[in-house]
A and B are shown apart, each in its own frame.
Chain A
């Protein structure tokens, strides 16, 4: 359904940003055979029952979009993981936050491509909501070794409003530079 694994992660990261969290932490770990991410927020969390229903594509709390009858982010993640020999896990506690974790086997023929990770990270920094977003990224494989950490507060301090197109152009250039991937994957 989605183009890439990065797009799936963007959807989950958006949930975290909209959870009322003050801090969101995201880890992206990749090598040539595996792509793994953990996205953790300290937002409103879910009860066991709410979490069970969030896995149903035909369920939504109806708060964001009154009248809407679908909620697809988590179901798509689960579907993709299950179909491609991957794994997923969601842990949540009402009132204290949610952690979503997924692992994808890149050698599986049906696994979507990883996609544009620096672009994903840029997209995440544009989500309104959390005061702090911490992104850690690591890659070990044929393209070499990549290891870095970026914080929203540091970027806002350096660039000002990130939504400003001037800041966004520089943010994009910065993220691609530290990722060592000038060319996009997708």
Chain B
């Protein structure tokens, strides 16, 4: 495969950018936040993040979703953890999110607007939340 240049990258991206910035400022976009602390990485959070990028690409959701990384949420026993914010739905932290669960989150939560009951972790641990 020929190596892509920065110019080619810019061309691929152009046209979509302005539309996206508008949506960001409305604060209405969907957010997927992957816990990438030491515990998350050790449990495979990197694969989880890769899987989200692939799944969002496949389902043509890339223009609607922000993917962020965060540190440890204090739920190290349930890593990899992922926080999902969808406007109009409760904010949820999912635990033990492997590649299969990523697909489920994208299909059921982001598209189907339903929570995945078996993976909900409620909220970050008490000692992690700044007072």
Which of A64, A73, A165, A178 contacts B56 (CB under 8 A)? A165
A182-B1 in contact given A165-B56, A165-B62 (Cβ < 8 Å): yes
Which of B20, B42, B49, B127 contacts A166 (CB under 8 A)? B20
Assess whether A105 is interfacial by the CB under 8 Å rule: no
A177-B1 in contact given A127-B69, A166-B62 (Cβ < 8 Å): yes
A169-B9 in contact given A3-B44, A177-B3 (Cβ < 8 Å): no
In the complex, the answer to whether B1 meets A163 with C-beta atoms within 8 Å is: no
Residues of chain B within 8 A (CB-CB) of A111 are none
Give chain B nearest CB distance to A100 CB in angstroms: 15
Residues of chain B within 8 A (CB-CB) of A123 are 36, 46, 49, 69
Cα-based distance from A14 to B40 in the complex (angstroms): 13
- Of A38-46, A47-55, A153-161, the stretch lying at the interface with chain B is A153-161
Which of B13, B36, B44, B64 contacts A167 (CB under 8 A)? B13
A contact patch SS: helix
Give chain A nearest CB distance to B40 CB in angstroms: 10
- Say which size band chain A's interface belongs to: 35 or more
Assess whether B122 is interfacial by the CB under 8 Å rule: no
> Which chain A residue has the least Cβ–Cβ distance from B38?
A72
Interface string of B27-54 (1 = CB under 8 A from A): 0000010001010011010100110110
Assess whether A89 is interfacial by the CB under 8 Å rule: no
Which residues of chain A in 83-142 are interfacial with respect to chain B, using CB atoms and an 8 Å cutoff? Answer: 116, 119, 123, 126-127
Interface string of A53-71 (1 = CB under 8 A from B): 0000000000011111000
In the complex, the answer to whether A158 meets B63 with C-beta atoms within 8 Å is: no
Cα-based distance from A3 to B80 in the complex (angstroms): 13
Which of B13, B46, B50, B74 contacts A170 (CB under 8 A)? B13
Give chain A nearest CB distance to B8 CB in angstroms: 8
Residues of chain A within 8 A (CB-CB) of B71 are 14, 64-65
Which residues of chain A in 142-174 are interfacial with respect to chain B, using CB atoms and an 8 Å cutoff? Answer: 154-155, 157-161, 163-170, 172-174
A161-B20 in contact given A2-B42, A116-B46, A119-B46 (Cβ < 8 Å): yes
In the complex, the answer to whether B44 meets A169 with C-beta atoms within 8 Å is: no
> Which chain A residue has the least Cβ–Cβ distance from B63?
A166
In the complex, the answer to whether A165 meets B66 with C-beta atoms within 8 Å is: yes
Most buried by A among B1, B6, B131: B6
A169-B62 in contact given A76-B38, A123-B49, A160-B21 (Cβ < 8 Å): yes
In the complex, the answer to whether A66 meets B131 with C-beta atoms within 8 Å is: yes
A66-B127 in contact given A14-B36, A123-B69, A165-B61 (Cβ < 8 Å): yes
Cα-based distance from A168 to B13 in the complex (angstroms): 10
Cα-based distance from A186 to B68 in the complex (angstroms): 22
Task: Sample 13 A-B pairs with CB under 8 A, ordered by A number.
Answer: A2-B38, A10-B36, A14-B36, A66-B127, A67-B127, A67-B128, A116-B46, A160-B13, A163-B66, A164-B24, A170-B12, A170-B13, A177-B3
